[in-house]
Structure formats: C-alpha cells, structure tokens
Amino acid sequence: MIAARSRGGIRHFGILLAAVAVAASTAQELPLKKDSVRFAVIGDMGTGEKAQYEVAQQMARYRETTGFDFVLMLGDNIYGGNSPADMKRKFEYPYGPLLDAGVKFYASLGNHDDPNERFYKPFNMGEKRYYSYKKGNAEFFALDSNYMDPQQMDWLNKALHDSGAAWKICFFHHPLYSDGKFHGPDTDLRARLEPIFQANGVRMVLSGHDHVYERIKPHSGIYYFVLGNSGELRTHDLRKSADIASGFDIDRDFMVMEIAGDQLYFQTISRTGGTVDSGMIDRQ
Amino acid sequence: MTAIVAVLLLAGALEAQTLHSPVNADAAMVQDFQKRVAAYLQLRKSVESNLPKLKATASDEKISHHEIQLRHAIRDARKGAREGDIFTPEISTEIRRLIAIAMHPDGPQIRQSLRSSEPVQLHLAINEKYPDGVPLQTTPPSLLENLPALPPEIEYRITGQDLVLLDTRAHLIVDIVRGVFS
C-alpha cells in the first residue's frame, strides 16, 4: 500500500497520482523520525551545466532540514569524458557543499560512464562494478545494468538471498519499467532481474536513463522509480500510460527518502524547490 | 575369446576418447576461443605487472594515467595482433550461431533492449582506444547468457552491427566480429 500526498499534505491512502506533469506543490518535510535512515537520490546528473548546479544547491538546502547523509547515484554520473577537469566540473564542484559536510555518494554506472569510475574513491564503489552496503535496517544493491552477465546475476541472487535487511533496495541505470518516449524500458533486463527481485523480497527499485521523473504503479509488490533528470532533462518525454502513478517531465529534480522502521517515505523535489511527488511505502 | 577382448579394448578406447576430447565441434570452438582469451590475459597480466597497481583513489589523474599506461603497454606487447586472432573465422561462425540461438526465443526483447540502450555507430579497429565520451551500449543479458563466459578484464560490447571484445580497464578494442547484428 502506498500513501501518496497531495498538495496540502493530506494523505490519500491507496490513491495514486495520475497526472503526467505534476505542478510544483508546497514544500513538505519527511517525518524526520529519530534513528531513521535518510538519503537522497540523483540520476543522469553529470552534465556540468547550470541546471545540475541548481539541483545540487537545492539538495544542500534540503539537507539542512532533512539531514540525509548519503546519496544514491543512478548512473550517467559524468557525461562526455572523465578527465580530471570533468570530474571537478561535473561532480566535485556542484556537490562540494555536500561532500564537505561528509555526505557519502554511492554510484552505479550508466551507459555514459567510464567503467573505471569504480576506482574513483568519492563514488564509494569499492573498485567494483556492482556491490552492496548496509545502512540501518536497509541494504542497498548497486548494479551494473550495462553488463548484466551471469556472474553478476549469480552474485545478486546470493547477496539478496543472504541479506537479512528489512528493506532491500536495488539501484542501477536502465529502467525495467519506463514511459519515457526516448528510451523506454529494457525488457530483456526486466525478464532477467524481476524474478530475482520478486523471489528475494526487493521492495523498491530506482533507475535513471530516461530524463524524466516517473513513479510506476507497483508490479508484484515492487515500487519502481525512474529518476533521470537531475542534470539532463527531456521535456514532455513521458507518454500517457496507465502504468504511471506520478510523473514530472518539465524540470529537473532529485529525491529524498527516509526509512523509519517499516515505512519508507519519499519526496521528489524540483530544481526550484517545489515538491512534485511524495508518499509512503509500507514494507508489508 | 580374442574377439571379446578386442571389443572390450575398443570400447575402452572409445570411452577414453569421449572423456578426453570435446563432445562436438561447437564445444571445440568455444574451447579454442577460451584458449585465445587466456593467451590475451596472460599477455595483459605480464605487462600490467610492470605497472603500479591501481587502487581506489580520489585522484582522477591517477586513474586516467593508469588507463593510458596500461593501454599503451598492451598495445606495444601485441603490435603484431590482427583482427580475427581471437575471433577466428570459425569462432566468429560459432559466435553468430550462439547469438542466433539467443535471438530465437528472446529476439523481440533483445531487440527492444538494444533499441532502448542508446545504440552507437562506430567503426573501430583492434588495438584502438574506445573513444572518449561515446556511450557504451548495453549488452543484453540474454545474449551474455548464451555467449562463452569471459574473465572480468574483458567484455562483449556492441557497436553498431559489430560485436567487440573490450578491455574495460585499458579502454582497448581487443578483437571484433563484424556484421553480427546486420
């Protein structure tokens, strides 16, 4: 069951937002419960352009109130080359205030990323294309969807199976579901990964690639989000679809999430600071 | 009695042959391919042992520098390499056959996966660098499941109609099968 919030902050349990482009609403705060796990999510951000910096500034502002202490990166972390100057302009400068505050970034690789980014320490990949780490009662699984070979699938199956975390969250670049007109879903990846997710209690999957925001209606109890517009943007790229719970394709955004026991709260915030989607997911 | 012994000896010889030789020509091709890949790895390992080990670092300069050094060292060590050294004509035929097998049940979803993953059109040559700033197209998992396993140092990548072997750390094109996806 998901509880989506409307503009006024009123919860409508079981009612899903249907608009393809939701207008910015008033800012809302997550519950900010004691000892909760709080993190932000960005995708397709590494352009080095003004809009990326503006989203990053908004993230820094939200961190002051929400206190998230790590960030998931959904790939396309650095567009157009990985020279030292690129890394500074497209990562270290825009997110400098967050890095200085001790916020950790955890990257997954997109199709525009150099696979050697796994050696870049600030991305916390431990020199691996795919890896997992734990925070509180959650375990996060970063996958390399560019190259889902049998070795990686075996690793994922085992890692998920062995995980005792209450929340198992997977993040990677290519979406299994997407109503983006430009790319759309990767159905071959879906055919391989979804059964593994279902068999091992994955509750939420985060991807990028399409330069829009989309919350997909749950499939077999799994909540899929596409967040590929934290730097890049493909305006009006979402097609009308019965699968969309909520969408935003007219500006950039990022997400803040909070896991408090059996509830996961999410809030999607635009470049200009408005909340374009929010809600709560029960662990079941 | 002599005849029975002869039959038993022949049966034993046939069994030994079955145990010690590839079951068919396709398996022999895959073995040959893996042997050639292993030879490449051996060469790569020997040149890499002369370089400082790359560890996670906050310095992108160090990562770039290591990549360049490794690429140049491998390139120098296999100066005489030619296209088809690993993907010989026979192995290329086997690779095409394995891809065709994958495409038979899963063709629509593989094609959809290829379309959604930002296809790139490049004309590459072996021992060349994979160009900076050009996205890497996803290799669909159903294809990877059907192709012979590779060590983590190299990957199958699709560029336009071609299947390439890419050394991911060195950004180096190791070999190419052309026109696989025509």
pLDDT at residue B119, as a whole number: 84
Task: Give the pLDDT confidence score for residue A15 in this predicted structure.
Answer: 29
- Nearest chain A residue to B157 by CA distance is A147
Of A81, A183, A184, the CB nearest to B133: A81
Query: pLDDT at position A12, please?
Result: 28
Exposure string over A219-228, b if 16+ CB within 10 A, otherwise e? beebbbbbbb
How many other CB atoms are found less than 10 A from the CB of residue B63?
25
Q: Do B63 and A191 touch (CB under 8 A)?
A: no
- Which one is predicted more confidently, A19 or A199? A199
Among A105, A90, A30, which Cα is nearest to A55's?
A90
Strand partners, A140: A133, A169
Chain A residues inside the 8 Å CB shell of B150: 149
* Residue B6 C-alpha, separation from nearest chain A C-alpha, in angstroms: 47
Residue A215 DSSP one-character state? E
Q: Which residue in this structure is represented by tokens 């705060």?
A: A29
Q: What is the DSSP letter of A108?
A: -
Chain B: closest CA distance from residue A194 (Å): 13
pLDDT at A251: 98
Angstrom CA distances, A154 to A157, A158, B154, stand at 5, 6, 18
Query: Which chain B residues have a beta carbon less than 8 Å from that of A185?
Result: 112, 116
CATH architecture of A36-282: 4-Layer Sandwich (3.60)
A26 vs A121, more confident: A121
Asked whether A83 and A111 are in contact (CB, 8 A), the reply is: no
CA atoms of A274 and B99, how far apart (whole Å): 48
pLDDT of residue A101: 97
Over range A11-40, report the average pLDDT: 60
Q: ipTM more than 0.90?
A: no
Residues in chain B with CB shorter than 8 Å from the CB of A83 are 60, 64
For chain B, what is the domain count? Answer: 1
* Beta sheet of B162-167, edge-to-edge order: B154-159, B162-167, B172-177
pLDDT at A215: 98
Residue B159 lies in a domain: yes
pLDDT of A24 above 80: no
Query: Is position B48 within any domain?
Result: yes
pTM of the model: 0.90
Interchain proximity A147–B112, CB inside 8 Å: no
Residue B23 confidence (pLDDT): 61
For β-strands B154-159 and A275-282, DSSP reports them as unpaired
Q: pLDDT digits over B32-43, tens only?
A: 999 999 999 999
Cα distances from A136 to residues A38, A39, B70, in angstroms, run: 10, 12, 40
Measured between alpha carbons, how far is A84 from A114 in angstroms, rounded to an integer?
13
Over range A226-248, report the average pLDDT. Answer: 97
**pLDDT of A5 higher than 90:** no
Query: B interface mutation test: which of A87, A105, A145, A149 has the most B CBs within 10 A?
Result: A149
Q: Using one digit for the tens of pLDDT, what is the confidence trace for A246-272?
A: 999 999 999 999 999 999 999 999 999
Residue B39's φ and ψ, nearest 5 degrees, are -65, -40
The confidence band for A6, taking pLDDT boundaries of 50, 70 and 90, is: very low
Residue A85 contacts residue A48 (beta carbons within 8 Å): no
Q: Where are the domains of chain A?
A: 36-282
Looking at chain A, the whole-number percentage of residues with pLDDT higher than 90 is 87
Alpha-carbon distance of A58 to A63, in angstroms, equals: 9
Q: What pLDDT is recorded for position B106? A: 80
B4 within domain boundaries: no
Size of interface A-B (CB pairs under 8 A): 116
Residue type, A24: A
Report the residue of chain B nearest A184, measured CA to CA. B116
CB contact under 8 A, B57 and A191: no
> CA distances (Å), B138 to each of A87, A248, B118, B177, in order?
23, 26, 8, 17
- Per-residue pLDDT at A119 exceeds 90: yes
Q: Which of A122, A146, A150 has the CB atom closest to B145's CB atom?
A: A150
Which residues of chain B, if any, have pLDDT below 50? 1-20
Does B17 map to a domain? no
Partner-chain contact B117 A121, CB within 8 Å: no
Distance from the Cα of A152 to chain B's closest Cα (Å) equals 10
CB contact under 8 A, B142 and A80: no
Residue B18 forms part of a structural domain? no
Place of tokens 């050094």: B69
A26, A9 Cβ separation under 8 angstroms: yes
**Distance of alpha carbon B67 from alpha carbon A65, whole angstroms:** 41
Angle, nearest 10°, between helix axes A150-162 and A187-199?
Answer: 30
Subunit contact B58:A120, Cβ cutoff 8 A:
yes
β-strand partners of B153: none
| Vertex A174 angle, CA A172 and A178, to 5° | 120
CA distances from B142 to A72, A186, A211, B39 (A): 27, 12, 26, 27
Reported confidence tier of residue A179, pLDDT bands at 50, 70, 90: very high
If interface means Cβ-Cβ distance under 8 Å, which residues of chain A face chain B? Answer: 79-84, 86-87, 111-112, 114-116, 118-122, 125-127, 145-151, 153, 174, 183-192, 209
pLDDT band at A27 (very low <50, low <70, confident <90, very high): low
Beta carbons of A267 and A275 less than 8 angstroms apart: yes
Asked if the structure places residue B8 within a domain, the reply is: no
Q: What is the model's pLDDT at position B24?
A: 83
